[in-house]
Amino acid sequence: MTRTLTLTRPDDWHLHLRDGAVLRAVLPETARDFGRAIIMPNLLPPVVTGADAAAYRARIMAALPADSTFEPLMTLYLTEETDPDDVVAAHASGLVTAVKLYPAGATTNSASGVRDVNRVRGVLEAMAEAGVPLCVHGEVTDPDVDIFDREAVFIDRVLDPLRRAVPGLRVVLEHVTTADGVDYVMSAQAGLAGTITAHHLVINRNHLLVGGIRPHYYCLPVAKRESHRQALRRAATSGDARFFLGTDSAPHTDGNKETACGCAGCFTAPNALSILAHVFEEEGALDRLEGFTSRHGPAFYGLPENSDTITLTRHETALPAADKIATGDGPVTVFDPGFALHWAVAR
């Protein structure tokens, strides 16, 4: 049995850090093991301009441990008022790595998102010409569409027409949750990739709902039926370079999760790599873990791989279960995969 596994240092291509006290508390959980991360811009107010991104990046850098080499990769929040010149300039300067499309009302702090993608066609065309990737939260928000169908409908109604209209645009379909999403990414010859989270590889909608509602398994896109989870596992462990890790680690304090109308998000930053090693081992694919965590993402974004490594060690006895991270705004519960973990990053 494999006992140690050395990987090129991973990157996280979809991460929420929030701001203020929560940012300061959760950032070290990612910076400890990951070289870089795409930072989501859905703050209140959102990060919509290059100036906003520079200010947010400065707050992140100030919160890093003194010896950390972690690099935040900033994104801009696309709105129907976004200035294409500002986007292009921010990307050209190296400040901004990508732009994020949230359909209005799709998830946490997305009220300022796009209601009609045709209204941002000019921005998307400028991005395609300048080589700026678009990261997409792939769900429609039409109240007539069942929440479990929103990803598939988005692909059909929004994403595929968008990519046909702006064929040079590089797109990441983030946190893929369905076989439909997997199939769509695999149908693309170039210019399209998909991120997959750790938590969607281990939970389905039964984990969320059977035996009582479990708020710390509630995320958006919501976990789907078991057949979709199996499709995600096949995609993640396949070695296909179009799929790579985006944890979508999304901290919320317990007070905002354990309530009558709780927030969406699973906080996986502390144990994402342990969960992934468990999954890839179960699938007989530990030799493909490095591609998923460390190689495919940089290749899509046109960035170099990290130059250093981490080592995962498999322990005979189960690791202590992660519990909560204390923040100045209240505790944040760490995602529980529902099984014992034996893999850990060696310190």
The Cα–Cα gap between 54 and 242 comes to 30
User: Nearest 10 degrees: CA dihedral of 300, 305, 309, 312?
Assistant: 10
Instruction: Give me the half-sphere count of Cα atoms (radius 13 Å) on the Cβ side of residue 207.
Output: 21
Side-chain-facing half-sphere of 332: CA atoms under 13 Å: 29
Is 248 in the active site?
yes
Q: Can you read off the two tokens belonging to residue 18? A: 């929030």
According to DSSP, residue 214 is labeled -
Rounded-to-integer distance, Cα 216 and Cα 253, Å: 10
User: In the β-sheet with 343-345, what is the strand arrangement from edge to edge?
Assistant: 4-8, 309-314, 343-345
The tokens describing 325, both together, are 């991270």
| Buried/exposed 296-316: b ≥16 CB within 10 Å, e otherwise | bbbebbeeeebeeebebebee
CA angle at 137 for the pair 135 and 142, rounded to the nearest 5°: 145
Q: What DSSP string runs through 15-81? A: E---SHHHHHHHHHHHHTT-SEEEEP---SS---SHHHHHHHHHHHHHHS-TT---EEEEEEE--TT
Which of these, 2, 15, 76, lies nearest to 268 by C-alpha position? 15
Q: 45 φ, ψ to 5°? A: -75, 160
Q: Is 229 left (phi over 0), alpha (psi -120 to 50) or beta?
A: alpha
Q: Of 248, 254, 287, 336, which one is the catalytic site residue?
A: 248
Q: Decide if 138 contacts 181 (C-beta within 8 A).
A: yes
Other CB atoms within 10 A of residue 100 CB: 25
Q: How far is CA 233 from CA 65, 217, 241, 279, in A?
A: 34, 18, 14, 8
Question: Which residues participate in catalysis according to the annotation?
Answer: 248
